[in-house]
Amino acid sequence: MKKSIALMLGISFLILGISGCVPGKGQVDSTSKSIQKEKRKLEKQDKDDELQTQTSSTTDEEEIKEEVECVAPNGEKFQYGLLKGWREYPEFESINPVASFVITNYKTFMGAIIDSKEDIVDFAAFENMMVEQMALRAGEEILTTPIELNGMKGSVASFEAEIEGANIHYVVYYLESKDNYIQLLTWVSKSMFKDHEEQMKQIAMTFKPID
């Protein structure tokens, strides 16, 4: 059951997170083969890994086990950390080809979509465009709060949305770096949000620009 939920949560990134665009049913259907492939991979995770994931802390401050570099299309470099029990989501490019990365502990997820400043008028236009598209899925107005994350100014929004029959809670950061605008998305199933809210903050705090 946990793996099925993880698969649906991964698919939710496809539906809600592509550069602010909400794909139609045909676009979602076209990924069915990729989704089945992802499901087979998830089902093959060994029992030791599953046990580690189930017993990992979600409330205490966690140590970064690995730091991973990610490079935007225009060459700007970023870094994010893998906490205990976290790993790269397998073949995430087949579900969301514009994502820079997706990581998960199969309960909570984090992914990023990076857009060049050259393609968008300014941060206000970027934020408005992204929030409006998210609001279509949430079915209500989404409010943002100013934030600064590792030197990047921006805003954050916390909201719920129904995705293909699943109730998902998102915390999305809209950030401005030197050369790019970033959507940093964290998400979890609605019933698990309170238990995993702190870890969602911790994993988001590992994302930062690097020289």
Q: Which two tokens stand for residue 202?
A: 């911790």
CATH number at 27 reads: 3.40.1000.10
Backbone angles phi, psi at 43, to 5 degrees: -70, -20
Task: For 15-51, write each residue's pLDDT tens digit.
Answer: 444 343 333 334 334 444 444 444 445 444 444 444 4
Q: Are the C-beta atoms of residues 156 and 171 closer than 8 Å to each other?
A: yes
The SS3 assignment for 26 reads helix
Predicted confidence at residue 175, as pLDDT, reads 98
**What is the domain extent for residue 178?**
2-210
Report pLDDT for 62: 62
For the chain, the average pLDDT equals: 78
CA-atom Rg of the chain in angstroms: 16
The total number of structural domains that make up the chain: 1
The token pair that represents 180 in the structure block: 């790019």
What are the distances in angstroms from CA 144 to CA 1, 124, 147?
A: 33, 12, 9
Per-residue pLDDT band for 93 (boundaries 50, 70, 90) equals confident
Is 51 in a helix, a strand, or coil?
helix
CB 114 within 8 A of CB 123: no
pTM for this one? 0.77
